[in-house]
Amino acid sequence: MNDIILKGDKNGFSVIIDAKANYIDAFKELKELITQQNIKSTEDDDVIKFTIKTGNRLLDEKQKGEIREFFDKFPQLELNDIESDVESKTVVKEILDKNKVNVESGIVRSGQKLTYQGDLIFLGTLHRDAQICASGSIYVLGEVNGIVQAGFPDNTNAYIFGNLKNVDQLRIADVVEIVTDDNQDQFQNSRFAYIDDLHSINVDELTNYKNRLNDLGKRTG
């Protein structure tokens, strides 16, 4: 068999499909190989596990479905996974969007809402009753009077940095903090806002940001 290679280990078998092979020919060889393995396993009570590895080839959902349906015909054989060394365009786009840094320097007027994928550096002016929203963290270097929301919709690890004294509301993920005359003094420059252990928005000196990251690393490490 030229298009596929069978390798065994303690966890079962890996079937490696040549990335340059014609899929139809490779699938035909795969079926012949699996049929042979099923014949060998008919007198054995143990289930034989397989992992299909496609290397730099990315199978589409139809092709994956064909492979899974074929394995379903043999109760003694189990398909663990179909692995590839490359990601789909959709997954790559999601990763790029998540790590993207946006820069906004315009005026966001009352009633407007601007939404960004990734982090946001805001250099513009946010009017009252307007909103800026990002899936990542927001760095405020401009003037904000409306609603600033980081971590939309459910990223509780997002932060908001900057001078937020005149902001109407801070939002991180699903947590809302309304800024009033009584608490606006804590939203000065060189501060950052985050979700604390009580799932509330807390504000701290920017000099403590590194300590905050170190504490998170210890909890998740």
Is pTM, for the whole model, over 0.75?
no
Give residue 59's identity as a one-letter amino acid code. L
Query: Whole-angstrom Cα distance, residue 28 to residue 70?
Result: 11
- Cα separation, 55 vs 65, whole angstroms: 18
Q: Where are the domains of the chain?
A: 4-88, 96-209
Contacts with 180 (C-beta within 8 Å, 6 or more apart), sequence order: none
Q: What is the SS3 assignment for 171?
A: strand
Give the CATH class of 96-209: mainly beta
Residue pLDDT, tens place only, 71-122: 888 888 888 888 887 665 565 566 666 678 899 999 999 999 999 999 999 9
Helix (H) or strand (E) holding 71: helix 61-71
Q: Is the pLDDT of residue 30 over 80?
A: yes
Radius of gyration of the chain (CA): 27
Per-residue pLDDT tens digits for 45-63 = 677 888 888 887 778 888 8
Q: Identify any residues that bridge with 52 across adjacent strands, giving them in sequence order.
A: 15, 82
* Nearest partner of 39 among 69, 28, 31, 53, judged by Cα: 31
